[in-house]
Structure 1
Amino acid sequence: MITGSCFKRSIAGFILMLSLLTAKGQDLHFSQFFEAPLLRNPSLAGIYTGDYRIQGVYRDQWNSVTNAYKTGSLNAEIKMPLGTGNDFITTGLQALFDKAGTVGLTTTHILPAFNYHKSLSNEKTMYLSLGFMGGLIRKSIDLTKVTTDNQYSGGGYDPTLPTGETMLSPNYSTWDASVGMSFNTTFGADQQNSMFIGAAYHHLNRPKNSFYHNRSIELNPKYVGSIGVKWSLDEVSSLTLQADHSIQGNYTETIGGFLYSYKLAYDLDNNPTYILSGGLLLRWKDALVPVVKIEWGHLSTALSYDVNVSQLKTASMGRGGFELSLCYIGFLHHDNSAQYKMLCPKF
């Protein structure tokens, strides 16, 4: 006999399975999208105050319903000035890992990136950046956990029966490429405010996307538009607004929100040593995402939680996923370090 709780869990799992099937054309994504800049747009590499940046994001989603998503991102970037002018280049690496579902669908990306920042002004920070990213994607599944209609007989499910999926491969590899452009600048009194706007074209080579060696099945190109503005409200507080809109095949996603930041303490050089931020993001027709972030010195960490507001909210009981991010930005202290540059790409 199926109990009420088991029945609800079965229904929830069934609804989730349908959502996974209908979302098969979409890329992996994070609610803390601002902590995975290369996944937004490869030209956003190097848009920070420092010589190098290391960022990581981990997402654990849908465990309230079933074992669905565990996603991790790690990116590292280093900026290098060109000559005696204000131009820069950035080299970086984006790694992405995801594991989902009962069959353990595992996806791994290893994507080197390169970005060129062209200075447009000698009076203030103003840059046009062009970025490229490309590398290897590998996907795998656990065939021992795959069940099909062929394994059901008159007596019910029989795991000893063949699945009938003779063409199904447990893994495959493919190549991926993306390109993006962005503009960033400072504005306002004493150039205390900053902003950027950018556009990216992902999967421009249309990588294959099939475990059946069917080359006609490709990953849809994705177009992403991004914008961010940071206002200095006074000497101790600021407001940051960021948003992304993406289109991939028949699917669209819009996410955006704000972070209010307050400087809690300063060092002897009057640089803020602790900054506390809090805010709210909205993934349109999907989730509300409260965020809290703390920065101390060169290190920062943020925690967020998705509150589901989509059609799955009944099955998920409003639960979504936790995300935890960690970021370190540092200086190399060489003669051409961004630390000593009045003008450098930053946000």
Structure 2
Amino acid sequence: MKNSRRWMQYSIIGILMCTMTITQAQDIHFSQFFEAPLLRNPSLAGIFTGDIRVQGVYRDQWNSFTNAYRTGSLNGEYKMPVGKGDDFMTVGGQVLFDKAGTVGLTTVHLLPALNYHKSLSNEKSMYLSLGFMGGMVRKSIDMSKMTTDNQYGGGGYDPSAPTGEYFTAPNFTSWDASVGMSFNTSFGEDQENSMFLGAAYHHLNRPKNSFYRNATIELNPKYVFSAGITFGVDEYSYFIIQADHSTQGSFAETIGGALYSYKLGGDPVDPLYTIHAGAFLRWKDALIPVIKLDRYPLSVALSYDVNVSQLKTASQGRGGIELSVSWISFLDRDNTSRDKVLCPKF
């Protein structure tokens, strides 16, 4: 009876995991998508006020009913002027780590990025950017932790029985590439407001995605459309609104929301702290409250997914917690560095 109950528990978890795979994107994603810009669109690299940016995001998801997902992202960007005009270039890279499930399906991405920003105005920040990102993706599983229905018989579960799964190897390496374009500009009185629009094409080379070395199994291309706007309420407060819509194969995902930001300290131009609070909604999946604190040059943000999908009963309404840390600074490579590379802040 105990073995039968355990088998049923494993089956339920397996069904939930399969359902989650169907209803979620094929690609890794974050609720704080705005803190992982290169994963959204490589042409969003460099769209910040500063010369250098390093960002990290960690996500822990679905532990309310199984050891499901642990995901980490680290990206870095460095901006440099090009020529005598206002054009500039951003070089950077994206590192991504993800471990999922009992068998420890592990994915590691190492993706260099390059983005060119073409100035469209001599009087204000207005740029058209074209970015590329590509590199190595490594996937592996721990076969010693695998259990299948072949290991269950009349006597219950037998861990010494063969799994019935025959992989050529428990790991493989593929190569991936993405391209994106974005437009950003400042507007309003004293050019204090800013906005951007972007579109990206991921997996343009259709990388192989099979432990069985099946050449017909490829990652579907993914299209991501992004938009964001920052507008002031008064000299101490402003709103940040951002949204993404992505499609990959038959799957589509929309996420968007807003943060209200308030500057603390006597000088609104150079505040001691800026606190942000708000929420995002991943359509038909999760409500995501977010709180963020800026203390130049560091920013820290915390969010939590409240599950509202069909899995909310099994997950008890709980989803994933995310923590992000960002460091943005000027290098002061020359006296005009802060004015040389114009760019709106998000």
Which TM-score band (shorter chain)?
A: over 0.9
**Residue 262 of structure 1: aligned partner:** 262
Measured against aligned partners, the alpha-carbon deviations of 1:65-88 in whole angstroms (never above 9, x if no partner) come to: 100000000000000001221000
**Residue 227 of structure 2: aligned partner:** 227
**Residue 321 of structure 1: aligned partner:** 320
**TM-score normalised by the chain length of structure 2:** 0.95
Alpha-carbon separation, structure 1, partners of 2:161 and 2:262: 62
* CA apart distance, 1:157: 1.9
**Residue 200 of structure 2: aligned partner:** 200
Alpha-carbon separation, structure 2, partners of 1:148 and 1:69: 20
**What SS is found at the alignment partner of 1:272?**
coil
- Structure 2, unmatched stretches of 5+, are none
**Residue 179 of structure 2: aligned partner:** 179
C-alpha distance 308-127 of structure 1, shift in aligned 2 (>3 A): same
Check the 8 A contact 1:139/1:172 in 2, yes or no: yes
Structure 2 counterpart of 1:311, which letter? Q
**Residue 115 of structure 1: aligned partner:** 115
**What SS is found at the alignment partner of 1:288?**
strand
C-alpha distance 124-228 of structure 1, shift in aligned 2 (>3 A): same
Q: Percent identity?
A: 68
2:292 is the counterpart of 1:293: yes
**What SS is found at the alignment partner of 1:150?**
helix
Measured against aligned partners, the alpha-carbon deviations of 1:75-106 in whole angstroms (never above 9, x if no partner) come to: 00000001221000000010000000000000
Check the 8 A contact 1:136/1:173 in 2, yes or no: yes
* CA apart distance, 1:59: 0.2
C-alpha distance 10-139 of structure 1, shift in aligned 2 (>3 A): closer
Structure 2 counterpart of 1:325, which letter? S
* CA apart distance, 1:161: 1.7
Check the 8 A contact 1:242/1:257 in 2, yes or no: yes
Alpha-carbon separation, structure 1, partners of 2:174 and 2:261: 41
**Residue 79 of structure 2: aligned partner:** 79
* CA apart distance, 1:39: 0.1
- Spell out the pairing of 1:61-140 with structure 2 (5 A cutoff): 61-140=61-140
Check the 8 A contact 2:299/2:326 in 1, yes or no: yes
Alpha-carbon separation, structure 2, partners of 1:311 and 1:138: 32
* CA apart distance, 1:166: 2.5
Check the 8 A contact 1:266/1:274 in 2, yes or no: no
* CA apart distance, 1:159: 1.4
Alpha-carbon separation, structure 1, partners of 2:275 and 2:331: 26
Alpha-carbon separation, structure 2, partners of 1:29 and 1:206: 18
**What SS is found at the alignment partner of 1:233?**
strand
**What SS is found at the alignment partner of 1:220?**
coil
Check the 8 A contact 1:81/1:336 in 2, yes or no: no
Check the 8 A contact 1:49/1:338 in 2, yes or no: no
Cα RMSD between the aligned structures? 2.1
C-alpha distance 165-71 of structure 1, shift in aligned 2 (>3 A): same
2:46 is the counterpart of 1:54: no
Q: What is the number of residues matched between the two proteins? A: 345
**Residue 331 of structure 1: aligned partner:** 330
C-alpha distance 126-25 of structure 1, shift in aligned 2 (>3 A): closer
Check the 8 A contact 2:260/2:276 in 1, yes or no: yes
* CA apart distance, 1:153: 2.8
